[in-house]
Amino acid sequence: MTQPRSDVRHAYISGTGFFVPEKVVTNDDLAAIMDTSDEWIQERTGIQTRRFAADGEGTTDLAIPAVEEALKSASLTVDDIDLIIFATCTPDHYLPGSGCLLQDRMGFREIGALDIRVQCSGFVYGLSIADQYIKTGVYRNILLIGAEAQSSGLDLSDEGRDVSVIFGDGAGAAIISATEEDRGILSTHLHSEGKYARELWVESPSTRNNPTISTADLEAGRHRLKMNGREVFRHAVARFPEAIVEALQANNLNMDDITLVIPHQANLRISQMVANRLGGPNDLIYSNIQKYGNTTAASIPIAMAEAISEGRIQSGDYVVLVAFGSGFTWASALIKW
């Protein structure tokens, strides 16, 4: 552990990277195996393609290249990192966490490796945790990952079509570093409402049952992701703008001050509705769901890395990261770049 430093005040994003698996799955590919169509998927979600991991390619395999890129862009090595935070709801194994696997495979020092769940909000929750450790001077450089290998858990039959056409695999990583400059994470706000847990969930395996998963569970598809799409949609279009406004108010800022909003890539229609509610220019809300689908905890760090590489974020810009998803959970981070 690094020594506490009283002069450290801000946490900023010093490097980003992302990786998506090679296999591109088009809407027509899905229409060939289930009762759906390119037209339906594009109209309802905006998605054109997504990536699926290959057999034998797990969450940590996707995370490693993203982390390598993030370290390179921060001009740091594994030895500079003080803590690993790994946000995923599709870990390689039930236990131990993917953070431990990553620590070993990439040769990090014997630092803490913390897996967090929180599904679609995982990256923003992770950013909030990293911010606290850095602001209080405990750590100087934290690796935060959002990575998901979801395709192996999808029901690619007609029954699962409402869920499986949306999701994809991928990984994004960011290095959160300490600075004494007037920049970085200005605020984070975290929320949850567990009464909606069953609207978007995977029921099995469950510790309520012994064994935790049975043949009957498998036959009933209780190990597959289930979603009440309309209910999730209804809450998402309310919570996204609410979380953005909360972040603005906490920092005495207006929408006009914001250069870019990077939302969790849930559905292009959700992002468009959020944009309409907030006003502001058409390109204020970043979208790349067309290419990658909904990659849950990976979607914000992938989008952030792409936005940076496209020159959409410059030094001094105010950027809002905002997420909503299973739990229900939602969260925001307002960053001065």
Look up 89 and say whether it is catalytic. no
Considering only residues 166-205, where is the footprint of ligand UT7 by CB under 6 A?
Answer: 166
Is residue 325 a contact point for ligand UT7 (CB under 6 A)? yes
Q: Give the residue among 79, 317, 308, 56 at the shortest CA–CA distance from 186.
A: 317
Q: Closest distance between ligand UT7 and the C-beta of residue 63, in Å?
A: 19
d(CA 330, CA 128): 12
Selected range binding ligand UT7 among 38-46, 100-108, 180-188, 303-311, rule: CB under 6 A: 38-46
Q: Does 229 bind ligand UT7 (CB under 6 A)?
A: yes
Q: Which two tokens stand for residue 319?
A: 């950027």
Tell whether residue 27 is a contact of ligand UT7 (CB under 6 A).
Answer: no
Among 200, 44, 330, 329, residue whose Cα is nearest residue 320: 330
**Would you list the DSSP string of 146-202?**
EEE--GGGS--SGGGHHHHTTB--EEEEEEEEEESSS-EEEEEEEEE-GGGGGGEE-
- Rule CB under 6 A: choose which of 294, 295, 329, 332 binds ligand UT7: 294
Per DSSP bridges, beta strands 226-227 and 200-201 are antiparallel
Q: Which residue is nearest to ligand UT7 (CB)?
A: 229
CB of 156 vs ligand UT7, minimal distance in Å? 11
Active site residue 264: yes
Name the residue nearer to ligand UT7 (CB basis): 196 or 337.
196
Give the tokens for residue 196: 């909606």
Helical residues (DSSP H) of 9-151, grouped into ranges: 27-31, 38-45, 59-73, 98-106, 122-135
Given the complex with ligand UT7, which of 17 and 122 has the nearer CB atom?
A: 122
Which active-site residues does the annotation give?
A: 120, 264, 294
Contact residues toward ligand UT7 (CB under 6 A) are 36, 40, 44-45, 120, 161-162, 165-166, 229-230, 232-233, 236, 266-267, 270, 294, 325
